[in-house]
Structure 1
Amino acid sequence: MKQAPLQDATLEALAAHVFAEIRALSPDSAGVSRPAFSGIETKVLDWLAEFARAEGLCVEEDAGRNLLFCLPEHAEAPRWVLIGSHVDSVPMGGNYDGLAGVVAGLMVLIRAARGGRGLARPVKCLAMRGEESAWFGACYLGSKMLTGQLPAEELAASHRGDGRSLAAHLEDLGIDTAPLAARQPICDLDRIEEYLELHIEQGPLLVERGLPAAVVSGIRGNFRHRLIRCIGQAGHSGAVPRAYRHDPVLAFAELMHRLDDTWDHLLRTGRDLVLTSGIVGTDAQSHAIARIPDMLGFSLDIRSQETAVLAQMRDYLRDQMDDIARSRGVRFETGPEVAVAPALMDPDVIARLEAAMARSTGAAFTMASGGGHDAAVFAQAGIPSGMVFVRNRNGSHNPEEAMDLADFMVGTSILSAYLGGEE
Structure 2
Amino acid sequence: MTLAAAVAEEQPRVAALLDRLAAIGADPPGITRHAFDERENAAHALAVVEAGRLGLQVARDAACNLYLTWPGAGRSAPRVLLGSHFDSVRHGGNFDGAAGVVAALAAVSALRATGFTPRADITIAAFRCEEAVWFGLGLIGSRAALGLLPREALDRRRADTGLTLADHITRCGGDPDAIVPGTRLLPVGPIRCFLEAHIEQAPSLIEAGLPLAIATGIPGNIRHAAIRIAGEDAHVGLPRRFRRDAALAGADIFTALDALWAEEEEAGRAMAFTIGRFHTDTSTHELTVVAGDFTFSLDLRAYDAAHLAALEQRLHAIVAEVAARRGVGIELGPRNAAPVGPCDPALRAGLAAAAARMGIATMPLGSPASHDAANFAAAGIPTGLLLIRNANGSHNPREAMEIPDLMAATATFAEWLRAEAAGWSRSRSVGIS
Q: TM-score range by the shorter chain?
A: over 0.9
| Segment of structure 1 superposing worse, 285-294 or 270-279 | 285-294
Letter in structure 2 aligned against 1:165: T
| Segment of structure 1 superposing worse, 285-294 or 17-26 | 285-294
Matched residue, 1:242? 240
Letter in structure 2 aligned against 1:197: E
Alpha carbons 1:344, 1:379 under 8 Å: kept: yes
Describe the superposition over 1:254-280 as per-residue Cα deviations: whole angstroms up to 9, x where unpaired: 111111111111111111111110111
Alpha carbons 1:35, 1:89 under 8 Å: kept: yes
Query: Aligned in 2, Cα 1:188/1:21: closer, same or farther, shift over 3 Å?
Result: closer
Alpha carbons 2:150, 2:181 under 8 Å: kept: no
Alpha carbons 1:59, 1:67 under 8 Å: kept: yes
1:149, distance to aligned residue in structure 2 (A) = 0.8
| Match runs of 1:156-175 below 5 Å | 156-175=155-174
Matched residue, 1:155? 154
Separation in 2, partners of 1:368, 1:407: 18
Is the partner of 1:81 in helix, strand or coil? Answer: strand
1:402 equivalent to 2:430? Answer: no
Query: Aligned in 2, Cα 1:413/1:116: closer, same or farther, shift over 3 Å?
Result: farther
- Per the normalisation by structure 2, the TM-score is 0.91
1:189, distance to aligned residue in structure 2 (A) = 6.3
Letter in structure 2 aligned against 1:391: R
Alpha carbons 1:5, 1:116 under 8 Å: kept: no
Is the partner of 2:229 in helix, strand or coil? Answer: strand
Letter in structure 2 aligned against 1:323: E
| Match runs of 1:164-203 below 5 Å | 164-188=163-187, 190-203=189-202
Alpha carbons 2:25, 2:33 under 8 Å: kept: yes
Matched residue, 2:426? none
Letter in structure 2 aligned against 1:389: L
Query: Aligned in 2, Cα 1:191/1:147: closer, same or farther, shift over 3 Å?
Result: same
| Match runs of 1:201-280 below 5 Å | 201-238=200-237, 240-280=238-278
Matched residue, 1:308? 306
Is the partner of 1:103 in helix, strand or coil? Answer: helix
Describe the superposition over 1:273-310 as per-residue Cα deviations: whole angstroms up to 9, x where unpaired: 11110111111111111112221110001111122221
Query: Aligned in 2, Cα 1:295/1:152: closer, same or farther, shift over 3 Å?
Result: farther
Matched residue, 1:20? 19
Alpha carbons 1:211, 1:391 under 8 Å: kept: yes
Seq. identity, %: 37
1:318, distance to aligned residue in structure 2 (A) = 1.4
Alpha carbons 2:130, 2:372 under 8 Å: kept: yes
Letter in structure 2 aligned against 1:338: N
Query: Aligned in 2, Cα 1:324/1:118: closer, same or farther, shift over 3 Å?
Result: same
Letter in structure 2 aligned against 1:199: H
Separation in 1, partners of 2:4, 2:352: 25
Letter in structure 2 aligned against 1:375: A
1:73, distance to aligned residue in structure 2 (A) = 5.6
Query: Aligned in 2, Cα 1:118/1:398: closer, same or farther, shift over 3 Å?
Result: farther
Separation in 2, partners of 1:242, 1:394: 42
- Per the normalisation by structure 1, the TM-score is 0.93
Is the partner of 1:361 in helix, strand or coil? Answer: coil
Matched residue, 1:54? 53
1:181, distance to aligned residue in structure 2 (A) = 4.0
Query: Aligned in 2, Cα 1:183/1:336: closer, same or farther, shift over 3 Å?
Result: farther
Separation in 2, partners of 1:362, 1:39: 37
Matched residue, 1:340? 338
Letter in structure 2 aligned against 1:403: M
Is the partner of 1:365 in helix, strand or coil? Answer: strand
Separation in 2, partners of 1:349, 1:227: 38
| Match runs of 1:133-148 below 5 Å | 133-148=132-147
Unaligned 5+ runs, structure 2: 421-433
1:135, distance to aligned residue in structure 2 (A) = 0.7
Matched residue, 2:288? 290
Letter in structure 1 aligned against 2:267: T
Alpha carbons 1:214, 1:390 under 8 Å: kept: yes
Describe the superposition over 1:136-192 as per-residue Cα deviations: whole angstroms up to 9, x where unpaired: 111111000000111234333221112332222223323222343444212256432
Matched residue, 2:83? 84
Alpha carbons 1:81, 1:122 under 8 Å: kept: yes
Cα RMSD after superposing both structures: 2.1
Separation in 2, partners of 1:192, 1:310: 29
